[in-house]
Structure 1
């Protein structure tokens, strides 16, 4: 892409946004960042424009042709002055000789006026404010200017288009991204001044002057051999240094105040959130009766012990008394004790005596057999009770 086409948005160029584009401006700025898009020769610029744009002038080509011829003639004349040994390096007022520098500046000033006349004659007067942005801040600056142009402070001015240079493929020392903010008439001082004030007061820009699109088309830049100034307006030609400085200071003071207020609000919100979290205690889980909580702390357990008497403490007084004696049942099996056998034996003897008194006397032999039977019956029972 030649320098002649640097001020023209290519047809169907994907790195350009306008209100007619499908996506939003924020989508475009998010996907196409100057620090990320590399120029491979086909995408040197990112563009953002308003809905209303000046149409391309029919007299632009004629203006470029005439201006290029003028610049070539000026360049030749400057070289002649530089190579003319009869012209002194320093002026000599006594001899009426002017220096090389004075003669060059005279030719250059005349050329600037001739180029303006050519631009006005053909209606090719559009131009742009020049801004340079460092790589680490270019995304932020570009986004701010693009939004301002479409829906911010710049939208109420004559500015209608903006572009920013993409990143070089190779590492370039001290590289800066050029940003251009376009205006329909670079020679309209009031219009240019209006845009200038917004760029200073609302964006804090460090401006580098105003350049016409005609200058770009004929290849006139700061390194051109003609030495003609590459800008039609310098900052100090429009405003005093003190006024420029004051507007930029207002912007940065307001920016710092906004940042401080935001930081204080964030700190207050954080402190309020911390206090609310600290004051709000978590509900303690209720313990189930007869079950221990494995996640309870020692403090929780001690508090619960203070509130409720422990089961051990409640049962302790009862443990001091004697245990109630269990009632013995009369054994009905073969494992009865000796005392139980003696009571039973006495009852049987009483029963035998009663029968003897009621019945006829028995023989001695029968008494002995009964006595033997009683002894035999009692012996095993005592033996089993001791087992």
Structure 2
């Protein structure tokens, strides 16, 4: 960050405040850090909780920056002298009471940290920010979460008042990460800084990189500054123990996992309910007149009743219970089966014998002697009239 990165010009397009013409959601949807490219005129996207955030950013800035720059120049010179002094051993010698180059440099740097704090407090230029880095594939989600939290969520109840995120570089940059800053009015107020830290951990599960004062940004102190002065005024472990930090983040991710599971179960339940409803949906009646323009709904109902199989009647049941009539001869019924003929063999044989007996000619009567005699004795009838 350059010395001007903590300020935004009047009328800056890529800034949202409560008096903006668009809603916060519309602003976040329109300007996404992964999509907005920095052409030199839009390095940051800003979201402010209040309408006048600049008062914290500019208060006592000019006088503090001037004094701090002069002091930092002296510190840098001292550190460089130690580094190039061959009389100072690389390793300390306790027996001789000699300190190493590293130990001497750290003493100067620690002294500088205290002096720079003194300059900040004296001029009232104590504003600063929590530093957070986000990869391009996650920056939009993280930025949106922080912005909403700052305006109307958990962060809104803390001292945090402003947030910004770096836009994307114009050219492809390997291993590029977006810097996100959450601003606080006084970075030396340990209680308020810790409160913001807890929200960022517990409610957002973020990896924090420490707290940097705006004065450090303005005078160009970073991790590569030749003075070697630490670029942050607070490291995470100076405010909270590692175990406490881990616990807060674990609680966040556990809650997030539970919420995702609940959402998945709810979605599955809705799908099952929808499928059941679709299966149970009653068959729609045909529109009257679809096939017959003169048909009515009553006709449709009658047709449905007619399609239903009729229940067996009592008369048919009784008929089935009666003894079946004797079957006709196989000769008379061309479709009778062998089984049907076999059931009535005895009757058939009797009928055949009866028919045969009727067809047999009666035996001729033999004229017996007696009949001849009777005929001789019987008087012959006269023919003709009596």
TM-score (norm 2): 0.74
Relative to structure 1, the CA distance from residue 305 to residue 198 in structure 2 (aligned partners, 3 Å threshold; closer, same or farther) is closer
Q: 1:284 Cα shift?
A: 4.8
> Match for residue 12 of structure 1?
11
Distance 1:196 1:48 in 2: 19
Aligned residues: 298
> Match for residue 341 of structure 1?
none
Aligned to 1:209, what secondary structure does the other structure show? strand
> Match for residue 342 of structure 1?
none
1:74 aligns with 2:78: no
> Match for residue 354 of structure 1?
none
1:21 aligns with 2:20: yes
The gaps in structure 1 that reach 5 residues or longer are 292-299, 308-387
RMSD over aligned Cα, in angstroms?
A: 2.2
Are the aligned partners of 2:221 and 2:231 in contact in 1 as well (CA < 8 Å)?
A: yes
Relative to structure 1, the CA distance from residue 20 to residue 284 in structure 2 (aligned partners, 3 Å threshold; closer, same or farther) is closer
Q: Equivalent residues in 2 for 1:1-387 (5 A)?
A: 3-51=2-50, 53=53, 55=55, 57=58, 59-285=60-286, 304=307
Aligned to 1:283, what secondary structure does the other structure show? coil
Are the aligned partners of 2:127 and 2:214 in contact in 1 as well (CA < 8 Å)?
A: yes
Relative to structure 1, the CA distance from residue 245 to residue 58 in structure 2 (aligned partners, 3 Å threshold; closer, same or farther) is closer
Q: 1:71 Cα shift?
A: 1.1
TM-score (norm 1): 0.74
Distance 1:36 1:290 in 2: 61
1:218-253: per-residue Cα shift (whole Å, max 9, x none)?
Answer: 000111111100000000000000000000111111
Relative to structure 1, the CA distance from residue 138 to residue 58 in structure 2 (aligned partners, 3 Å threshold; closer, same or farther) is closer
Q: 1:113 Cα shift?
A: 0.4
Relative to structure 1, the CA distance from residue 102 to residue 275 in structure 2 (aligned partners, 3 Å threshold; closer, same or farther) is same
Q: 1:53 Cα shift?
A: 2.9
Relative to structure 1, the CA distance from residue 281 to residue 159 in structure 2 (aligned partners, 3 Å threshold; closer, same or farther) is same
Q: 1:288 Cα shift?
A: 5.2
> Match for residue 350 of structure 2?
none
Q: 1:38 Cα shift?
A: 0.2
Are the aligned partners of 1:91 and 1:98 in contact in 2 as well (CA < 8 Å)?
A: yes
Are the aligned partners of 1:57 and 1:123 in contact in 2 as well (CA < 8 Å)?
A: no
Are the aligned partners of 2:7 and 2:54 in contact in 1 as well (CA < 8 Å)?
A: no
Q: 1:290 Cα shift?
A: 12
Aligned to 1:255, what secondary structure does the other structure show? helix
Are the aligned partners of 1:129 and 1:211 in contact in 2 as well (CA < 8 Å)?
A: yes
Distance 1:305 1:98 in 2: 106
Relative to structure 1, the CA distance from residue 144 to residue 305 in structure 2 (aligned partners, 3 Å threshold; closer, same or farther) is closer
Distance 2:291 2:100 in 1: 107
> Match for residue 358 of structure 2?
none
Relative to structure 1, the CA distance from residue 305 to residue 54 in structure 2 (aligned partners, 3 Å threshold; closer, same or farther) is closer
Distance 2:126 2:175 in 1: 32
Relative to structure 1, the CA distance from residue 40 to residue 96 in structure 2 (aligned partners, 3 Å threshold; closer, same or farther) is same
